[in-house]
Each structure stands twice: as C-alpha cells, then as structure tokens.
Structure 1
Amino acid sequence: MMLTCIAVDDEPLALRLIANFIEQTPFLQLVGSYSSAAAALRGLQQQTTAVDVLFLDIQMPDLNGLELARVLDKGPGTDKPRVVFTTAFNQYALEGYKVDALDYLLKPFDYAEFRRVADKALAYANATRPTAAEPALLPQEDYLYLKVEYQLVRVDFRDILYIEGLKDYVKVYRQSEARPLLSLSSLKSLEERLPARQFMRIHRSFIIALNQVKSVSRSTVQIGSATIPVSDRHREAFDQFLSRWK
C-alpha cells in the first residue's frame, strides 16, 4: 500500500528534511510541499486524490498547524489526512489529541523516529482502509478498532459489556479488562459502527451489549455490577427487547 503525503513547515531546512525522509520511505509518496498552512490548505483543496498523511509544523505565521488541523477536522467528507505534528515544543499534546493527531515528531528528529511514525501510519491505513481482498470495518466484522492514546486498539464485539459516552469521549467496558478503554469518539459515531442485533442505545450516555444483560426492570438494566438507566427516549425500543424476555 502506498500512502500519499504532504509536508508543511515554514523553515526551509526542516521542510527539505521531511521531504527527503518521505522520499526515502518506500511506501510514502510526496504529493505536496508547502511553507505555510494557508498554502497547504489551498493545495489540499486542489488535490484530485485523497491525501493520507499530513506532516505538519505547529508554530507558523498567520494560520498555524493546530488551526489548519481543526479546519480539516471540521471539513466535509471522510477522506481526511491523518495529521503528524512536527514541532520543537511538547506542550501541544492535549490540543493534538483533540484534533485526533496520529502522532508527534519532536524536533530535532532523525530518520529512525520518522520511520516509526511512518510505520504507524501504514498500520493505521491497513487497519481502516477497505481492500478488495479484506474489507475493513464493515458491519459483518466481529470487531472494531478504537483510537486510544495515539494507537489503534482492536475490540471484539463479544468482549464489550457496555459503552458510556462522556462528551467527546467514550468509555468501553470489557469482560477481559477491569479498566475501561477511553477513546476520543462520540457515542453516536460508535453506535453507527456496532451491529444493531447485538447492541442497543438505552440512554443518551449508554450503549449496552444485549447478550451481557443479567437482569432488567422497567427503568434499569443490570450488566455485571453496573446498573444502567433506561431513558424515556429509548424506552419503546427497550420495551420491545423486554418483550422477548417474557
């Protein structure tokens, strides 16, 4: 698999270094090199094919790297480049997490560090991009991948107990682990990726695995040691589920 890349940095030497590293990597293809975020945005808008990875400096005049990442994150379409920030400052980790950055390269970095991130980008693409031989993340699969602390974690459907939504994050509670997984995702987007025959939204903040339900009442569900409320909005669908228990 070949990944298309764009490099953005207002320092000519840093931009040339990233471009050289991309050209040294067999599965990366450089399709654009820009000295400002504004020029990169125009270039991305003019691209006729999707860009897979954006190597992006943060501190730049006018539009900075974080602002560009936010613009892209809010833009239309699903074929958005994964961002790798290249920066001399490490205080942007939280902001980078909010825009779903794939990783960081802290300046100065060498090719070994660059290759580690490139390999990570390739692994992500292989896990999420559909191919003719093995479609990824289709409904008939029995697992999904979640972004957890700059890595992809495979979660089997049969391992899920329930999922709790917390604003921009979700907590996934599993049988196999005592601690839940925390992932930057909305409950709605996760609901769309889960098979309806196995999972049900019973509250604005909760999705449950139906085969994990131990007991039910009119207004709650018991899963393991957790008691989960059923909201009025989801009561009709829940009542239909209850009717199958009778």
Structure 2
Amino acid sequence: MILKCVAIDDEPLALELLSKFISQTAFLKLEGKFSNAIEALGFINQNEVQLIFMDIQMPDLSGMELARILDGKKNSDKTRIIFCTAYHQFAIEGYKVEALDYLLKPYSYEDFLSAATKAYQYFDRLKNPPSEKPAESTPQTQDYIFLKVEYQLVKVMLKDITHVEAYKDYVKVHLKSKPNPILSLTSMKNMEELLPSDKFMRVHRSFIVALDHIDSVSKNIIQIGDHQIAVGENYKEPFLEFLSRWMN
C-alpha cells in the first residue's frame, strides 16, 4: 500500500526537508508541496490525498484552520493530518482535530518515520477492517507484523520468527528462513505487545521466544536451533506454567 501525501509549510527549508523525508520513505508518495494552505486546499479538493504533513502557523490560512475545514468534510477519515511545528503548545488543539501525530521541530528522520508508520497502520486497518465473527468462533490472529528496518517497513511472517533478542536501542529478530537476524529500531516492550501471547513468551528481559520453535528445555535453558536462552528469574513462573501444559 502506498499513501499519497502532500507537504505544506511556509518555510522553504522546512518544506524541502519534509519533502525529502516523504520521498525517501518507501510507502509514501509525494503528490505535491505547498508554501500556503489555501493553495494546498484547492489541490486536496481536486485530488486523492491520504496524508497531509503540515505546519500550523502559516499566513492567510493556518494549518489548524485547514484541519477544521477538512474535518468537516464527508469521508474525512480518508484524509489524515500529521502536524509539523516548532510550537508544542498546539499539541492539545492538534489532537482535538484528530491529527494522527504531532512532530515537534526540529525532528529527525527517525521521528518522521515513526509518525508515518502510525499513519500506514491506520490506513491498513481502514482498508482491511477485522471481519466480524460469531461470538462463539475463535478470534483470528494476524499472521505477520511490520518492522522498521533501516529506512523501510519490512513485512515479517510470525511463523518465521524463532526468537527476539534485545540489542542496545534495537532488537534482533531471528528468523528461521535467514542465517542472520534483522535489526529493528524498537523496544522489547513494543515487540511483546506486537507478538501474540499465545505463540510468543518473554522469558528474559533480553529475550522473547516463539513457543513453537522451542526444541528442548533443560533446567532453565531453552534450546532453539543453535541458540541457548536462559530463563530469567522474573519470568520463571509463567514459563514453568507453560511447560506444565506443554508436557500434558
């Protein structure tokens, strides 16, 4: 899925940086860049635009005023806004118009990518809403996740993940299909939330294991392929509970 975007900022350098960040992000397509909100509004009314990156304080028509205009339109959920501003006091007002995110200048590409990823996930849910199932049916789990790897989002199948390892500000995601792990800029806590709890378990502050890929357990050591993973003291109780079910 590619998101069609526009960039709006009355500061030329800020507009160029924003346009550059959009252009180097694989799942974004820059449809237009504008130095004022009135010109941008005319374009948005005539073209399909999913995502707007824009400043707030601009002459003639401010970013907040443009957001309110768009919020009042039919199908406003199909065009979303990420504010890019130097003024933190607008944050609360920004969320009142349901902005997807709020980037405070000066922001890095990492900050930009995090906000863009949030937008991608929003439109992915909009495009593929969870199907309604009868109450008695078993809920279906998504069989893949997206991870930030360098400057792109990479689709990773859950069944391919053997374990996840903490590595400084990153995580190493070990895959059955690849000899080397992929490195993603995220936290273990975030990975724990992304991965379904019936298939993955955190067994150490630095390790999450895929339960289906466990080859053997000896005392407090888990064997997955050539990797030996120790079970941390704070994680022993839930893991022993899993083992008791596993052996029955």
What SS does the aligned partner of 2:219 have? coil
Matches within 5 A, 1:15-164: 15-16=35-36, 19=40, 23=44, 25-28=47-50, 34-35=56-57, 52-54=80-82, 56=84, 63=86, 80-81=100-101, 95-98=108-111, 100-101=113-114, 125-129=122-126, 131-132=128-129, 140-164=141-165
* 1:37-76 deviation line (CA, Å, top 9, x unaligned): xx7689879996777353758xxxxx38xx89xx89xx9x
Note the C-alpha offset of 1:149: 2.2
Residues 32, 171 of structure 1: alpha-carbon distance in 2 compared, 3 angstrom cutoff: closer
Note the C-alpha offset of 1:143: 1.4
Question: Which amino acid letter does the alignment assign opposite residue 143 of structure 2?
Answer: D
Contact 2:55 2:84 in 1 (8 A): no
Note the C-alpha offset of 1:159: 0.5
Q: Which runs of 5+ in 2 are unaligned?
A: 16-32, 133-138
Question: Which amino acid letter does the alignment assign opposite residue 80 of structure 1?
Answer: L
What SS does the aligned partner of 2:8 have? strand
Q: Which runs of 5+ in 1 are unaligned?
A: 58-62, 104-119
What SS does the aligned partner of 2:35 have? helix
Residues 169, 80 of structure 1: alpha-carbon distance in 2 compared, 3 angstrom cutoff: farther
Q: In the aligned structure 1, how far is the partner of 2:99 from the partner of 2:127?
A: 12
TM-score, normalised to structure 1's length? 0.61
Q: In the aligned structure 2, how far is the partner of 1:197 from the partner of 1:14?
A: 48
Q: Which of 5-14 and 193-202 deviates more? A: 5-14
Note the C-alpha offset of 1:160: 0.5
What's the Cα RMSD here? 4.7
Note the C-alpha offset of 1:188: 1.3
Q: Matched residues, percent identical?
A: 30
Q: In the aligned structure 2, how far is the partner of 1:134 from the partner of 1:143?
A: 17
Aligned length: 206
Contact 1:9 1:34 in 2 (8 A): no
* Rg larger in structure: 2
Question: Which amino acid letter does the alignment assign opposite residue 49 of structure 2?
Answer: F
> In structure 2, what is the equivalent of residue 243 of structure 1?
244
Q: In the aligned structure 2, how far is the partner of 1:16 from the partner of 1:46?
A: 15
Q: In the aligned structure 2, how far is the partner of 1:80 from the partner of 1:46?
A: 16
